[in-house]
Amino acid sequence: MSSPKVTVLDFGIGNLFSVCRAVEKCGADVELVDTCPRADQVERLILPGVGAFAKCLAAMRRYGAVDLAREFAETGRPMLGICVGMQALFEIGEEFGEHPGIGLIPGRVQKLAPAPGENAFKLPHIGWAPLERPAPDRWDGTPLRSVLPGEYAYFVHSFHGMPEHPSAILATTHYGSTRVTAAVAHENVTGVQFHPERSGPVGLRILKQFIAG
């Protein structure tokens, strides 16, 4: 039996080496592509991304990843956005002005801000934080289905997605007393703000469940 195939887009921005190694460790064949494939050539798709929202989206557009992601979402096959790749799934990003995203998840990407009455905190938010589940059955049928609430993942970010519909929030965490969107999902599309490839056994379990579809 052949191994599951995962396509990782190489549009010049992303933690590609670590992502590919983690996916391979989970038993998949990884195809790292620097030329945009057609949607019908892809079984499972990973959108990586680091840095500023606008720069990442500009690179995605030059590569063709924005149109590919929209077309691939229509196939019903699994897609995963990581870090800024997760933020790219939203309609608008507010980093250094307003910039359009892919638009698969209604909402905006906004700067982390202290809760009312809380002292200012340092940005970026860097380090391990527990994953919280907004509803008891929210992780069923998603890549987080093997995670236990309170298990830790590794974050590096200053912005996070704010979905228009709360049902799109798959997981949260806290920075100080500020509630942070840690993961989002809509049908076959999942996005994680944390780095599963840097989150130890928890991250590998998430990638394995994504690969399993």
How far apart, in whole angstroms, are the C-alpha atoms of residue 11 and residue 19?
Answer: 14
Q: Provide the residue type at 125 as one letter.
A: H
The active-site residue out of 36, 83, 95, 160 is 83
The H-assigned helical ranges of 74-197 are 84-87
DSSP 8-state assignment for residue 94: -
How far apart, in whole angstroms, are the C-alpha atoms of residue 113 and residue 63?
Answer: 32
The active-site residue out of 125, 157, 160, 195 is 195
- The question of whether 197 is a catalytic residue gets the answer yes
Q: At what angle do helices 200-212 and 16-25 cross, to 10 degrees?
A: 70
How far apart, in whole angstroms, are the C-alpha atoms of residue 174 and residue 130?
Answer: 8
The active-site residue out of 56, 95, 160, 197 is 197
Both structure tokens of 47: 């959108």
- The question of whether 195 is a catalytic residue gets the answer yes
Catalytic residues: 83, 195, 197
